[in-house]
Amino acid sequence: MEAILKSCFGFSAFRPYQKEIVQDILLGKDCLVVMSTGSGKSLCYQVPPLVVGKTGIVVSPLLSLMQDQVMALKQKGIKSEYLGSTQTDSTVQAKAESGQYNILFMTPEKACSVPMSFWSKLKKAGICLFAVDEAHCISEWGHDFRVEYKQLDKLRDVLPGLPFVALTATATEKVRSDIINSLKMKDPQVTIGSFDRTNLFYGVKSFNRGPLFMNELVLDISKYVASGGSTIIYCTTIKDVEQIFKALEEAGISVGIYHGQMDKKSRAESHRLFIRDELQVMVATIAFGMGIDKPNIRQVIHYGCPKSLESYYQESGRCGRDGIASVCWLYYTRSDFAKADFYCGESQTENQRRAIMESLMAAQQYCSIATCRRNFLLGYFGEKSHSDKCGNCDNCIDSKKVRDMSKEAFLLLACIQSCRGKWGVNMPVDILRGSRAKKILDAQFDKLPLHGLGREYSSNWWKALASQLISNGYLTETIRDVYRTIGISAKGEQFLNSARQDCQPPLVLPVTSDLIGENEDDSALTEAGKMDNLATLKSGLSEAEEKLFQLLLEERMKLARSAGTAPYAVCGDQTVKRIALTRPSTKARLANIDGVNQHLLKMHGDLILEAVKLLSQQVSLSLDGEYREPNQRRPLAPAKFEAWKMWHEDGLSIQKIANFPGRSAPIKETTVCGYIVDAVQEGYEIDWTKFCNEIGLTCRIFSNIQSAVTKVGSAEKLKAIKDELPEEINYAHIKACLVMQSCGMSPEGLDRKTDEPMIGASLL
């Protein structure tokens, strides 16, 4: 298996779970695979056919997705094709029957409608597995239920003894059970990987529709595309798609459009241009959702709250599938939360309606929370996080203001209690706002003492407060048919019992953008919300390596155009980055790079080596460099993250961080230094020049530490190293020196004057 993995796919080792799944398939076992997008699910069904020399059948929901996969596999030298309504080659079916393909893709409709003779002939030729991709489409509890998927169980009798493999990135426990039952799986091996996409930044922002926000969006995207990388903007309506497309096009951005009212030819052309990097931005409805197999998308924007958290996870998951840092932004308005009737309109059963309502509620809560968004996503899919803060979402990075909202919370909770849990949030909000609508008069709610006491705040403000009270456990929402009712939780009852209208215990909540009053200054908060997307994408390359990387991407584009394929199908961005870091001079060295397979080596090896040699000279880099893994942020303990953020982003000195007023007691400055250095080791960038200046790390000290490490014989024995050094050299100096070395930094790169501080005097 490992030999095929390297020769066909270019990888030297399987990723987590892949090898075990492949082995189970080869043993003839049914498998349910639930793994995040970008974790390598497809390789699980691509390897077995190559190992046994038989055809693997893969059912996929969209023709465009199958076409992308076939294109990419052919570039690896793997024989593959698809059967569907757009297939123009009349010989494909006959070739498939005779077993001429390693992998054959089919739509569910095609799989259920081909004549029995097709399956009979293919079984004689040799078939090794039947894979169902995007398997959540089978379940009516899933976010993208498709009736045609329900027919696939008929093929169980047609293909007895064949392992059925169901794969999806999003499946709750209920959906997983439905998939197993629907496909009549026999004692399946169930593999559930982590849902955590650590390379993705998650951010959410509320907005007001209008030219002002549209101009801001266009400006942000203009800056982003200038740095390279593809963007998808998902919209909930065709009107929004066309409006954003027009605004971006007028700004001179290379942009495509994709929605259901376009003819097939136009949609296919937009898809083709985007896949081949001839368009930088695609503005689309969710019709473009699953139909994209492009690993180097660097930004996904949702313009409007999605209909479910599953669909959001699926669509945002199209971002950064190659593992490189990428960003996901969700922009929403409060009006997005009133679309339950629209989304439930086409539901056939009560189960479907309830599933849609539950998913919609989760998506809305995701928009409103003030805590870690990654942890919320993981918790929704049943996965526990190891830390309260991920350090890679807007809520973890932005320091939100807090405010005592006990008075307002008391009014809202008391009003909801008066409604006796029979209404949604609109009724108590209308009561507080003093509405005299018919429904309020009929229920005699206008006679409540609370009627009109909340006029100073808008309806949206009160609804945003309700969202925060739900997130913090003071309120509960219940689904009744397709309606939601709101009620008081035990925690909310406890608050009300200890409060009066003129006196309440403190109830401190974060001030989200929706909770900023009309007369309040939101400049600090909005600036915090505008995180620099580009900073998130720091690649870990030196300036020269980054230039080489960009030049090699241009060379890859030329190769792709000459081959009539997409750039990523030639080789992925990660592979190009590894080439930029190692700069191989021979085919043997090129072959050792992860992602370089035999087909790439044979077809383009000489051209790649020639380009590497020429372009490396242009940027003054030597050949045959040593590979190091570029920085990727990993989870960080809250105390360490706060120290890094205060120093790197807020600009506080180490001394001020150590004595920060919010602490119960001061901490040592060396502890702060240690926290910052630990953050670097977990993939967080810092300004080394500034850091060395603060801690007084000189080239002389750097040299002394290196000598001590050599004498001790190990960089891990910090105390032994410290004992070999003068007293003025502390643990902060030692840790900084060791981490700088591991990052490929040297003191000469910062300051060549060996007897002066790299930057200045010590504060420690």
pLDDT digits (tens, 9 = 90+) for 22-75: 999 999 999 999 988 878 899 999 999 999 999 999 999 878 788 888 988 998
> DSSP characters for 558-599?
HHHHHHTS-HHHH--HHHHHHHHHH--SSHHHHHTSTT--HH
Specify the DSSP class assigned to residue 493.
H
State residue 659's pLDDT score.
Answer: 83
120 pLDDT higher than 90 = yes
- Distance, in Å, from the CA atom of 159 to the CA atom of 245, rounded to the nearest integer, reads 47
Q: Higher pLDDT residue, 597 or 516? A: 597
341 pLDDT higher than 80 = no
pLDDT digits (tens, 9 = 90+) for 709-751: 888 877 778 888 999 999 889 888 998 888 887 665 656 544 4
Number of Cβ atoms within 10 Å of the Cβ of 663: 12
State residue 663's pLDDT score.
Answer: 63
State residue 416's pLDDT score.
Answer: 92
Chain mean pLDDT for the chain: 84
Q: Which of 407, 401, 391, 428 lies closest to 639 in space, CA to CA?
A: 391
State residue 381's pLDDT score.
Answer: 85
Q: Which of 597, 586, 588 lies closest to 623 in space, CA to CA?
A: 586
What mean pLDDT comes out for the span 626-640? 66
- Distance, in Å, from the CA atom of 337 to the CA atom of 335, rounded to the nearest integer, reads 5
Confidence of residue 531 (pLDDT cuts 50, 70, 90): very low
627 pLDDT higher than 70 = no
Judge contact between 549 and 576, C-beta under 8 A. yes
Helix axes 490-497, 406-418, angle to 10 degrees: 110
Residues 6+ apart with CB under 8 A from 135: 32, 149, 166, 167, 168, 171, 179, 183
Number of Cβ atoms within 10 Å of the Cβ of 700: 15
The tally of CA atoms less than 13 A away on the side-chain side of residue 685 is 16
Number of Cβ atoms within 10 Å of the Cβ of 212: 10
Q: Nearest 5°: CA angle at 213, between 310 and 312? A: 5
Strand partners of residue 439: none
The region of weakest confidence among 227-236, 451-460, 500-509, 567-576 is 500-509
Q: Higher pLDDT residue, 500 or 237? A: 237
Domains of the chain: 2-192 (3.40.50.300), 200-397 (3.40.50.300), 402-529 (1.10.10.10), 543-618 (1.10.150.80), 638-749 (no CATH)
pLDDT digits (tens, 9 = 90+) for 311-338: 899 889 888 888 888 899 999 887 777 6
Percent of the chain with pLDDT over 70: 88
In order of 551, 559, 624, 626, the CA distances from 616 in angstroms are: 10, 18, 10, 14
Helix, strand, coil in percent for the chain, rounding step 5: 50, 10, 40
Q: What b/e sequence results for 457-480 when a residue is b if at least 16 CB atoms lie within 10 Å of its CB, and e otherwise? A: bbbbbbbbbbbbbbbbebbbbebe
State residue 290's pLDDT score.
Answer: 57
The region of weakest confidence among 67-81, 181-195, 384-398, 625-639 is 625-639
pLDDT digits (tens, 9 = 90+) for 442-483: 989 999 999 999 998 998 899 889 988 988 889 988 877 667
